[in-house]
Amino acid sequence: MKLITAIIRENVLDRVREKLLAAEIYRITVTRVSGRGQQMSEEIYRGQRVVPGLNPKMRLDIACNDEFVEPCVNAILEGARTDGGRVGDGKILITPLEDIIRIRTGERGGKAI
Amino acid sequence: MKLITAIIRENVLDRVREKLLAAEIYRITVTRVSGRGQQMSEEIYRGQRVVPGLNPKMRLDIACNDEFVEPCVNAILEGARTDGGRVGDGKILITPLEDIIRIRTGERGGKAI
Amino acid sequence: MKLITAIIRENVLDRVREKLLAAEIYRITVTRVSGRGQQMSEEIYRGQRVVPGLNPKMRLDIACNDEFVEPCVNAILEGARTDGGRVGDGKILITPLEDIIRIRTGERGGKAI
Amino acid sequence: MIGRCALGCGVALGTVLFLGASSALAAGGSPEAVTVDSGATAWMLTSTALVLLMVPGLAMFYGGLVRSKNVIGTMMHSFTAMGIMGVLWVTISYAMCFGDGVLGGWFGWNPDYVLLRGIDDTIMPDFHIPEYVFAMFQGKFAIITPALIAGAFAERVRFRSYCIFIAVWGLLVYNPLCHWVWAADGFLFKMGAIDFAGGTVVHISSGISGLVAALYLGARRGYPASAMHPNNLVMTLMGAGLLWVGWFGFNAGSSVQSGLATAQALTATQAAAAAGALMWILLEGWHQGKATALGFASGILAGLVAVTPAAGVVRPGGAMALGAIAACVCYGAILLKNRLGYDDSLDAFGVHGVGGTVGAILLVFFMRDGFSTHQFVVQLQAAGVAMAYAAVLTLVIVIVVDKVFGLRASAEAEMAGLDHVYHGERGYGLLNAN
Amino acid sequence: MIGRCALGCGVALGTVLFLGASSALAAGGSPEAVTVDSGATAWMLTSTALVLLMVPGLAMFYGGLVRSKNVIGTMMHSFTAMGIMGVLWVTISYAMCFGDGVLGGWFGWNPDYVLLRGIDDTIMPDFHIPEYVFAMFQGKFAIITPALIAGAFAERVRFRSYCIFIAVWGLLVYNPLCHWVWAADGFLFKMGAIDFAGGTVVHISSGISGLVAALYLGARRGYPASAMHPNNLVMTLMGAGLLWVGWFGFNAGSSVQSGLATAQALTATQAAAAAGALMWILLEGWHQGKATALGFASGILAGLVAVTPAAGVVRPGGAMALGAIAACVCYGAILLKNRLGYDDSLDAFGVHGVGGTVGAILLVFFMRDGFSTHQFVVQLQAAGVAMAYAAVLTLVIVIVVDKVFGLRASAEAEMAGLDHVYHGERGYGLLNAN
Amino acid sequence: MIGRCALGCGVALGTVLFLGASSALAAGGSPEAVTVDSGATAWMLTSTALVLLMVPGLAMFYGGLVRSKNVIGTMMHSFTAMGIMGVLWVTISYAMCFGDGVLGGWFGWNPDYVLLRGIDDTIMPDFHIPEYVFAMFQGKFAIITPALIAGAFAERVRFRSYCIFIAVWGLLVYNPLCHWVWAADGFLFKMGAIDFAGGTVVHISSGISGLVAALYLGARRGYPASAMHPNNLVMTLMGAGLLWVGWFGFNAGSSVQSGLATAQALTATQAAAAAGALMWILLEGWHQGKATALGFASGILAGLVAVTPAAGVVRPGGAMALGAIAACVCYGAILLKNRLGYDDSLDAFGVHGVGGTVGAILLVFFMRDGFSTHQFVVQLQAAGVAMAYAAVLTLVIVIVVDKVFGLRASAEAEMAGLDHVYHGERGYGLLNAN
Ligand SMILES: Nc1ncnc2c1ncn2[C@@H]1O[C@H](COP(=O)(O)OP(=O)(O)O)[C@@H](O)[C@H]1O
Ligand SMILES: Nc1ncnc2c1ncn2[C@@H]1O[C@H](COP(=O)(O)OP(=O)(O)O)[C@@H](O)[C@H]1O
Ligand SMILES: Nc1ncnc2c1ncn2[C@@H]1O[C@H](COP(=O)(O)OP(=O)(O)O)[C@@H](O)[C@H]1O
């Protein structure tokens, strides 16, 4: 089991979710985060262009069984890449997951996902 | 050491925290997140029932030593399960933790938790 | 590759980011979280001192290659420790990272960081 | 027929009557023709709008203080009062307040006032304003009073039962009290009780009713063990600002004219609010070492509440004294509440009940015309009567509504939040990624 | 010269004239000297401020309903109307609305009114107020009307094109309609159409125009598949509160006096708003089992919109009936919209178009003077004319603006959010750690 | 005795006096009896409420622009001014402003005005309103002026020292300036300086004082390296809306009547605000390619500030010109500030100081009565005097307060946020899971 964490643009969330649903990945947790990479997104403040230290991003966390990792990554790549790839599109992180427990039933492991 | 991440309903936070305290787990980090699983939580918008794409949830992160994993999981299960288990109660994820550092002192590992 | 997660005080964010930049760590994701450790931060509500159950904190997530782990940890320690270390300064967690993917290009592994 | 503000209006009323008379004579009209004083009408229309502004102001003040999951439900407590009391007022409450006393003066009744049918073109001979304006101005008081109560049991009542509660409370508590104090044949009015703009009718009655209801319902789950933080103090401050502005209509409008008495009431209002707010943060600074925004806002309210009954009879210095004293007493009352441990969620009793009582009684010491023991006794009696009546009736209503419909929110609703359970909504969509 | 509210003002206008005359005579002045009625002036000044307050109120109401990424853009739709229509009104729109009819009465024109030059010291003989006050009061209506339209196509228009659209719409749709209905030589006015405070001119015209524009532009991306949640219902409630308060100026100010007619209009307004709001949540309770805050706010608006044309001619009971009926019809209209699937984002048509039509037509059944078939026909004709004219012209303007500047936001801008793309800002910095 | 608005009120004042005289005569009363003009009183009461509304409006405007950790502290800067200046005004400031000149005309004094004791039933013979209303209206200006200053050094002052600073500043800077400009024996008034509603007294004085204090205190930590984002532009917009509405009271109320001069002032105010706002976003569109909401709001303010001294003497066209010019100059001034690198946090000087100066001086070119070189020189002198006096005194006060109490927040408090450190609160509990 893996935990897939993706940091994506705020506005591609809907598209990514569609792709994930198409890949039969239904469960997801989303967090509002702020991030800094190479992207410079200007705002205007009283006649001055300012570059905020951090840009708003969305973080997706998806726990999935090993066989779902590649479909999931691909779905995210498809949904989150803008115009063939632009700075700011974000990252996907994959971490090992030792166990997962469904609170409702107490089931554990792969079938709890 | 493990990192225990639980996605629970917003409104069981207090109860979960009580159970954790009872299990002598005092330290915790909480994040507002939004999630999608099987739960359908209806809202009403001008005479129409709408199902939001994502429901508000709370995410708990607890770093703990291995011997505390089971007590911690049990405490969360007890506190977060509603009415003997209903869709939307959430998940617990367990990931390996390589190291932990207390910023105040710079202590590392198990005793820093 | 590791994922470094730090829970720090809200108000040291700027200082930590400066230290990180100095250590040539540019990429970061920040989340508003609430935490409970030993710290007691009083607020006042109509003539009564109340201790909130949870204090506002910032969570930093930094994915980095193994050789950057120590510089990164040190930068965070330097930036986040207040007055030689006070309760509430927070924690750093280090978790293994199996893979990382740059969404823009699809690059994987160390070079995608 | 209508006795409102008889004490505060001597001078200016004379002026108005005199002006009215002179125009009438100059025009050679018949003496019966009642002319409209367009200036007084303008101010009363404005006051009506200002008092209405207090309702969203109160919604913001209260709404900011509860937890995020209850913000919509709490604001709806104020808003629905605009709907429910708004409809009731036009339908029968005006008749019950300002009709002639029936059932031994328990409340008033005048069939002509039902749906306000009989006043469609009435110009009030005493005030030279259309009676509609007076009725609408008064109606705003009937709206805000039950909304004030809601602060005492915020975060733990069923929405539907709350609606029923305020409707019944308005009919059985507010209307009789209003009749007793402000109708010309009301018994407290005839006793000479001074209540310029509603210290007894609005604040004491809502405060004590809130207390009774809060005690009956019991504390919120987790109170006082877990701290319940304001979700939006910023909004609470905005609300306090609107309340201050609106209160000018509340108090200065209660002069039912646009003249000297109006100016006196406005000045007293401003002075008391400023003094109350300042005193509260001084107290906090001394007691806690910090001056809070909620403290400042509470001081504004304490000052305004205390000067409400007094605005017509005190000078600015007296108003400042009243405001400052009220701030101290309310501050103490809230500390005491914390000791006693009952859960008056947003201190409806601590501010309105206590502040209103302070104002209604202590005004005697700051009257323009000097202290009078007789008046002191009258004020004590009036406050006592209002308290006793409101407390007993509220208890009865609360019990009945609870038995029949269930007044307390279910444990699950309380945990999940009133917004979701009773309204199917959430206040801050912005918090949620969607 | 100016016909506004000719029907509603009989009685009180008489009083004013009579008073004016008597003072003039008493002072032995020449009969031509037009005196200022300081009371009427005071109320009209206040009304002007109250109607202006509706614009931020509307910005809050609408702003709270869109998604977080569009909150600034949506509020700017209301705010820029203050800038654009504000400048246009002073420059030429007042001349176009209240000048003498030109081009066969299409609109008015009076070169003296350009930049308001000719009215610098005019006191209106009919109303005894400075003409400036009348002009400013009227100008606020020209500001809020296009801002209302914006609700229909919120979250998907280019900012610059929107600005051009409302400027042209104001000149070609609002100004002529205003002239027809409220100028003394306007053809709908002469027909005897009753539109006290703008049911046709403001609500029907903005509602239908919004519908046309929304249909032309098509639905927002993802509508109706993905739910689009209000980002801040709390702010929507605040906005609804300010709208209610401001509407007192809107309606009661439309009496252009401070007397009986004003009081009647204010009372009708209050009664209709309360009844509309209450009816809406009753409906919801029956239909959905829950009463929502947005429903309450929508009911307030439905009631206020419906009573707008009628405020001068109905009694409180009739106003309550109108408000309640409008709430039902608007509720149904929105359900129907959901069926039909077009995207009137914030229900500008569903509330203003539908509610305004209900009010303009059904008022005939609740008139103080009793039902009149003739009036019924006139009302139908006036509403029909306004709808047809506004629909056709709006379609033309929308097409031209779209072809020349592009009215619909680009797909990317829609996804990224209007705030960032068109304004370089975000509404809630607080959400972001920085 | 009181000179306020002597220039703007010719015509309408005549009307009022004439009316007053005629009623008095008609009634056969003694000529000394001063009657109340209920209409003028109504408008002045309303204006008082409107100007008070500006204080929460300003709190919202400023509060939205700072970082989340300072939102409460920043709003409290406005709110505490209501408490502190509110109490001082009643106690001695009215006496210092409108008493007869003492110490060579440095400020006024009239022991009768202490606690407003001597005006308890005074009706002003020139204006036919109770003097209380005038005193309260004026008092609101004394509240808002120091609150404006706070924008210059937001996010970095100690709360307690700020309170002391504004109290002293009010007594030593505001009161003398107010006396010089608006009291009948004030030297700037006698020189014939035109300052209808406070360009010099309010805006120039607060702007320059803010600049001096900001320079003395130095920049916020991290400025300008790290961008400091508005936490809540949505609230800033709401605040701008309330400021616009309140400004009608500010300017039109300064006519101290309800007549033609009032209408002229209101019209000028509306025209300038609309033109300023529109000009600002046009400039931004041209300069940056995007029109921001903050720009629109800033333009509203620039226009309103510039027309403040001029509202009584310019026609609508001139007012629009003044508003548009002020928007351009303020826009440039802020760009210049960014170059120069000093930290006027919320541009109190950039908008109020600069805009006020533009208005006070350029009004001469747009006067109804035509340009006059003499007046131009007088305006220059008056602005210069106000600037010099305010700058020097503010510097002295700032230094003394800093030495004695410490004016600058500690580095730690600045990092942790003023809300937590000085008030023990946080503005947005909703952000925090609890
Ligand atoms: N190494 C990293 N650790 C944590 N977050 C990262 C890292 N790299 C990127 N991010 C997140 O991804 C977002 C987009 O990164 P960016 O550098 O703009 O993309 P790219 O790498 O394609 O140029 C950032 O705002 C940040 O939140
Ligand atoms: N595989 C998963 N990955 C990430 N988050 C998940 C996953 N499964 C569940 N969640 C989170 O848990 C919440 C509750 O899940 P739900 O499916 O309703 O519970 P259950 O599995 O008991 O039916 C979801 O809203 C989501 O935030
Ligand atoms: N074991 C843990 N698991 C999760 N979060 C933790 C843990 N320990 C500390 N934290 C986070 O760090 C913050 C600071 O912790 P605190 O106990 O005050 O610091 P210290 O350990 O130096 O006394 C807490 O508010 C919490 O968010």
Cβ contact F130–D285 (<8 Å): no
Q: Is C28 in the A-facing interface, judged by CB distances under 8 Å?
A: yes
Q: Where are the domains of chain B?
A: 2-112
Is the pLDDT reported for residue E160 higher than 60? yes
Cβ-Cβ contacts under 8 Å, A2 against chain C: 98
Q: Which of these, D434, D221, E232, lies nearest to B11 by C-alpha position?
A: D221
Cβ-Cβ contacts under 8 Å, E227 against chain B: 43, 45, 50-53
Burial of B87 (0-12, 13-18, 19+ CB in 10 A): exposed
Dist. CA A28 → ligand 2 center (Å):
6
Q: Which F residues 375-434 touch B at CB under 8 Å?
A: 433
Q: Which atom of ligand 1 is nearest to the CA of C113?
A: 1
Dihedrals phi, psi of F356, to nearest 5 degrees: -65, -40
Cβ-Cβ contacts under 8 Å, C44 against chain D: 284, 288, 290, 292, 295
Nearest C-alpha of chain B: how many angstroms from E3?
Answer: 38
**DSSP letter (8 states) at residue E154:** T
β-bridge mates for residue A48, sequence order? A45
Take residue D58 and report the two structure tokens written for it: 């109160």
Chain-centroid distance, C-alpha B1: 17
The per-residue pLDDT for range E279-293, each reduced to its tens digit, is 999 999 999 999 999
Q: Count CA within 13 A, CB hemisphere, residue F321.
A: 13
Please report the pLDDT score of residue F151 as a whole number. 97
The maximal CA–CA distance of chain A, rounded, in angstroms, is 57
Are F427 and F71 a contacting pair, CB within 8 Å? yes
Is the pLDDT reported for residue D16 higher than 60? no
Cβ-Cβ contacts under 8 Å, F235 against chain D: 234
User: Helix count (H) and strand count (E) of chain D?
Assistant: 17, 2
CA–CA distance, F53 with F249 (Å, rounded to integer): 9
B37 lines ligand 2 (CB under 6 A): yes
Cβ contact B104–C95 (<8 Å): no
Q: Where is average pLDDT lowest: D154-168, D196-210, F26-40?
A: F26-40
Are E70 and E419 a contacting pair, CB within 8 Å? yes
Ligand with minimal distance to C60 CA: 1
Between E59 and C111, whose confidence is greater? E59
Nearest C-alpha of chain F: how many angstroms from A5?
Answer: 22
Dihedrals phi, psi of E319, to nearest 5 degrees: -65, -40
Query: Average pLDDT of E181-190?
Result: 95
Between B41 and A46, whose confidence is greater? A46
Residue of F nearest to A49 (CA): F288
Q: Is the N-terminal amide bond of A96 cis, ω within 30° of 0? A: no
Cβ-Cβ contacts under 8 Å, D159 against chain E: 291
Q: Is residue D185 classed as helix, strand or coil in its secondary structure? A: coil
Q: If you write DSSP's letter for every residue of F349-402 in order, what string do you get?
A: IIIIIHHHHHHHHHGGGGBTT---HHHHHHHHHHHHHHHHHHHHHHHHHHHHHH
Chain-centroid distance, C-alpha D2: 19
Q: Which of these, B53, F385, E211, lies nearest to D433 by C-alpha position?
A: B53
Please report the pLDDT score of residue B43 as a whole number. 83
Q: Is residue D157 classed as helix, strand or coil in its secondary structure? A: strand
Q: Which of these, B6, B4, B12, lies nearest to B86 by C-alpha position?
A: B12
The per-residue pLDDT for range E316-365, each reduced to its tens digit, is 999 999 999 999 999 999 999 999 999 999 999 999 999 999 999 999 99
Are F179 and F98 a contacting pair, CB within 8 Å? yes
Q: Is B33 in the A-facing interface, judged by CB distances under 8 Å?
A: yes
A88 lines ligand 1 (CB under 6 A): yes
Q: Which residues contact D412 (CB under 8 A, 6 or more apart)?
A: D421
Q: Is B9 in the A-facing interface, judged by CB distances under 8 Å?
A: no
Residue of D nearest to A60 (CA): D433
Is the pLDDT reported for residue E123 higher than 80? yes
Phi/psi-derived region of residue C43, left when phi > 0, alpha when psi is between -120 and 50, beta in every other case: beta
| Ligand 3 binding residues, C-beta < 6 A | B 27-29, 61-63, 102, 104, 113; C 7, 35-39, 55, 57, 87-91
User: Helix count (H) and strand count (E) of chain E?
Assistant: 17, 2
- Give the other-Cβ count within 10 Å of E324's Cβ: 25
Please report the pLDDT score of residue E32 as a whole number. 57
Is the pLDDT reported for residue D1 higher than 70? no
Query: Average pLDDT of D379-387?
Result: 97
Is the pLDDT reported for residue E61 higher than 90? yes
Ligand with minimal distance to B105 CA: 3
**DSSP letter (8 states) at residue A7:** E
C31 lines ligand 1 (CB under 6 A): no
Give the helix ranges, DSSP H, for F218-259: 233-252
pTM exceeding the 0.90 threshold for the entire prediction: yes
Q: Which residues contact A111 (CB under 8 A, 6 or more apart)?
A: none
Q: Which residues contact E172 (CB under 8 A, 6 or more apart)?
A: E393, E397
CA–CA distance, F381 with A58 (Å, rounded to integer): 58
Is the pLDDT reported for residue E387 higher than 50? yes
Question: Does ipTM top 0.90?
Answer: yes
Is the pLDDT reported for residue E9 higher than 60? no
Alpha-carbon radius of gyration of chain D: 21
CA–CA distance, F79 with E107 (Å, rounded to integer): 48
CA–CA distance, E340 with E360 (Å, rounded to integer): 25
Please report the pLDDT score of residue E433 as a whole number. 73
Are E310 and E268 a contacting pair, CB within 8 Å? yes
Between E33 and E218, whose confidence is greater? E218
Partners of chain B (3+ Cβ pairs below 8 A): A, C, D, E, F
Please report the pLDDT score of residue F14 as a whole number. 35
Take residue D211 and report the two structure tokens written for it: 């207390």
The full set of domains in chain D, from first to last, is 38-423 (1.10.3430.10)
Dist. CA F415 → ligand 3 center (Å):
20
The per-residue pLDDT for range E253-282, each reduced to its tens digit, is 999 999 999 999 999 999 999 999 999 999
Class of domain A2-112: alpha beta
Q: Which of these, B51, C103, D222, lies nearest to A39 by C-alpha position?
A: C103
| Nearest CA owner, ligand 1 atom 23 | A87
The maximal CA–CA distance of chain E, rounded, in angstroms, is 75
CA–CA distance, C10 with F260 (Å, rounded to integer): 56
Average pLDDT, chain D: 92
CA–CA distance, D73 with D418 (Å, rounded to integer): 6
**DSSP letter (8 states) at residue E177:** H
The per-residue pLDDT for range D102-111, each reduced to its tens digit, is 999 999 999 9
Dist. CA A2 → ligand 2 center (Å):
15
Is the pLDDT reported for residue D9 higher than 60? no
Confidence of residue E26 (pLDDT cuts 50, 70, 90): very low
β-bridge mates for residue A99, sequence order? B94
A32 lines ligand 1 (CB under 6 A): no
Mutate which of B36, B76, B77, B81 for ligand 2 pocket (most atoms within 8 A of beta carbon) = B36
Are E423 and F285 a contacting pair, CB within 8 Å? no
| Per-residue pLDDT of chain F in tens (434 residues, 90 and over written 9) | 344 544 333 333 333 333 333 343 344 444 457 899 999 999 999 999 999 999 999 999 999 999 999 999 999 999 999 999 999 999 999 999 999 999 999 999 999 999 999 999 999 999 999 999 999 999 999 999 999 999 999 999 999 999 999 999 999 999 999 999 999 999 999 999 999 999 999 999 999 999 999 999 999 998 888 778 899 999 999 999 999 999 999 999 999 999 999 999 999 999 999 999 999 999 999 999 999 999 999 999 999 999 999 999 999 999 999 999 999 999 999 999 999 999 999 999 999 999 999 999 999 999 999 999 999 999 999 999 999 999 999 999 999 999 999 999 999 899 889 999 999 999 999 988 76
Please report the pLDDT score of residue F210 as a whole number. 98
Please report the pLDDT score of residue B36 as a whole number. 84
Confidence of residue D20 (pLDDT cuts 50, 70, 90): very low
H or E element that contains F20: helix F10-26
CA–CA distance, B83 with B90 (Å, rounded to integer): 14
CA–CA distance, F428 with D231 (Å, rounded to integer): 6
CA–CA distance, E148 with C54 (Å, rounded to integer): 43
Cβ-Cβ contacts under 8 Å, B13 against chain F: 433
CA–CA distance, E44 with F46 (Å, rounded to integer): 12
β-bridge mates for residue A58, sequence order? A8, A32
C102 lines ligand 1 (CB under 6 A): yes
What are the C-alpha distances in Å from D48 to residues D55, D125, F134? 12, 20, 22
Dihedrals phi, psi of C61, to nearest 5 degrees: -120, 125
| Nearest CA owner, ligand 2 atom 17 | B37
| The pairing of beta strand B43-45 with beta strand B91-96 | unpaired
- What residue type is assigned to position D101 of the chain? G
Between B47 and F302, whose confidence is greater? F302
- Give the other-Cβ count within 10 Å of F289's Cβ: 11
Give the number of beta-carbon pairs within 8 Å between B and E: 38
Q: Which residues contact E117 (CB under 8 A, 6 or more apart)?
A: F315, F317
Partners of chain D (3+ Cβ pairs below 8 A): A, B, C, E, F
CA–CA distance, F369 with F315 (Å, rounded to integer): 10
Torsion D158-D164-D166-D168 (CA) sign: negative
Q: Which residues contact F108 (CB under 8 A, 6 or more apart)?
A: F95, F96, F97, F98, F99, F100, F101, F102, F175, F179, F183, F185, F186
Q: Which of these, F301, F320, D404, C31, lies nearest to E84 by C-alpha position?
A: F320
Nearest C-alpha of chain A: how many angstroms from D224?
Answer: 29
Please report the pLDDT score of residue F21 as a whole number. 37
CA–CA distance, D45 with E257 (Å, rounded to integer): 11
CA–CA distance, E162 with E408 (Å, rounded to integer): 9
Q: Is F227 in the B-facing interface, judged by CB distances under 8 Å?
A: no
Facing E84 at nearest CB: one of F16, F245, F278: F278
**DSSP letter (8 states) at residue F201:** I
